[in-house]
Amino acid sequence: MTFHSTSRRSLLILSGGALLTLGGCVTTGGPVNVDGATDDTRAALPLVNELRKKHGLSALAPSSATGRAAAEQAVRMAKANQMTHLIGFGDSFGTRMKRNDVPLPAAENIASGQATVAEAVQAWIDSKKHLENMLGSYSHVGVAMARSGSTMRPYWAMVLSA
């Protein structure tokens, strides 16, 4: 049977939509496999909370959900050896947050190359959009780092949530 290119394209689009829909319906109660990530939330928390205090905002608290989501993203970037929020066909921030039971609204900051959590937090402070995320109306935070197996480059992720 021969398919026209528009038929194949439609099939791919429909398949992708089905995957996105199914992926959005699945949640897990347990931890996501995040082998290779380090949880740097405790080290980042005083830095972020001091920043928030200077702006008259309440302190953030760690949560297992934001920690899992940050660790998952750090590992994904390290495996891809690429700093990006979206990796692969059908990737979605909302789906990742739902899979990790992160309450919405939520935000994600990413960084790459910084040697320490303090350097990563400072890079986010120096970026207007990342700074806005850290000063947003959030209650919880998770921060994680993973290294690329091929280059050992550190990849950082911060997830903030309600």
Distances (CA, A) of 160 to 22, 138, 146: 25, 6, 18
Residue 23's CB is within 10 A of a number of other CB atoms, namely 16
User: In sequence order, what DSSP letters do the residues of 142-162 get, joined into one string?
Assistant: EEEEEE-TTT--EEEEEEEE-
Q: What is the pLDDT of residues 70-121, one digit of tens each?
A: 999 999 999 988 877 877 777 788 999 999 999 999 999 999 999 999 999 9
Say if CB 34 and CB 68 are below 8 A apart: yes
The structure's pTM equals 0.76
- Model pLDDT, residue 24: 30
What count of Cα atoms within 13 Å lies in the side-chain half-sphere of residue 159? 32
C-alpha 143/C-alpha 40 separation (Å) is 5
What count of Cα atoms within 13 Å lies in the side-chain half-sphere of residue 60? 32
- Model pLDDT, residue 32: 32
